[in-house]
Amino acid sequence: MVSIMFEDGARIYFVTGNAYKFEEAARALENVGIKLIMKDLDIDEPQSDSLEYIASKCALEAMKVLKGPLLVEDSGLFIQSLGGFPGPYSSYVYRKIGCSGILKLLRGSEDRDAYFKCVVAFASSSQKKPALFKSLVHGIISDEIRGKRAFGFDPIFIPRGFSDTFANMNIEVKNTISHRGKAFKAFVRWFTSKKP
């Protein structure tokens, strides 16, 4: 059983240097008695085709430093016509070619189906291995960059059932449908069910 409650709620580190990710996670965890603390650690991220493996390994490495309950998140954009590229390498690909580079790769392609996948790993001293929470959201890649809100590939991803990109949504709407918002909410459901 997870037992890390304090008088004013649980304090959990979120290991990230990305302020946008932290804001989305904090919004997903608000009003459930969890105080999220952003912690930017310099830990090596393993190269793997598996988001689950990456998130788990990073959580275990972070535990060596923080010694306390923590969350690590890894996500990727998987584009069908590109064989799932960039997938687990999304962060690196974004830094190298950005949204415009992906649009160039898809120029002339009628198949623009894609999905975002997120894996959240929770680690604590009371667990032998991290608990994983996964979610994905299907959609398409837009024909152009739209919106300045959010980060990464959000300005070119239109979730299924919507007409605009993640980057043009306010954070409350995005959190209800996004891969990250759903994965963190799955963690909240699990965590609150384990409270003493």
| CATH number reported for the structural domain that contains residue 186 in this entry | 3.90.950.10
| Location of structure tokens 């306390």 | 68
SS3 state at 159: strand
pLDDT in tens, 77-123: 999 999 999 999 999 999 999 999 999 999 999 999 999 999 999 99
Handedness of CA 79, 85, 91, 93 (dihedral sign): negative
pLDDT for 3:
32
pLDDT for 156:
97
Active site residues: 74
* Mean pLDDT of the 127-135 span: 94
pLDDT for 2:
32
| Total structural domains within the chain | 1
Residue 155 has pLDDT above 60, yes or no: yes
The residue range of the domain holding 109 is: 5-194
- What value does the mean pLDDT of the chain take? 90
pLDDT in tens, 14-72: 999 988 889 888 888 877 878 889 999 988 888 899 999 999 999 999 999 998 899 99
pLDDT for 157:
98
Question: In terms of residues, how long is the chain?
Answer: 196
Amino acid at 59: A
Residue 135 has pLDDT above 70, yes or no: yes
Concatenating the DSSP letter of every residue in 49-64 gives: S-HHHHHHHHHHHHHH
pLDDT for 88:
95
Angle (nearest 5°) at CA 189 between 183 and 191:
100
Give CA torsion, residues 146, 99, 169, 120, to 10 deg.
170
